[in-house]
Amino acid sequence: MLLCELLQAMLAYAVGDEQRLQTEVAALARHAQATGHLVYYRESQRLAQIAPLRPPLNQLPRLVSCPAQKLSDFLGSEVAV
């Protein structure tokens, strides 16, 4: 279920539906915390931070799911998420 919620949030990002993105990210964060799946909680927080920067869709999974991935690789500056 959590993976489905993460994918729904990424889909909302892909189609530019900011309201749905925020709703999906909040739901994912709540469910991840409630079930103790903190990997998904972390991913929800990264997606919330990354989304306003509008990285290319093909980079989104790597930026959201790879904890060592820095936004500097995308932005060219030393900004870690």
Question: Which residue ranges make up each domain of the chain?
Answer: 2-75
Q: Which two tokens stand for residue 31?
A: 């469910």
Say which residues have a Cβ less than 8 Å from residue 38's Cβ, sequence separation at least 6: 32
pTM: predicted TM-score of the whole model, two decimal places:
0.81
pLDDT in tens, 12-67: 999 999 999 999 999 999 999 999 999 999 999 999 999 998 989 998 898 898 86
CA angle 23, 19, 37 (to 5 degrees): 25
CA distance 77 to 20: 29
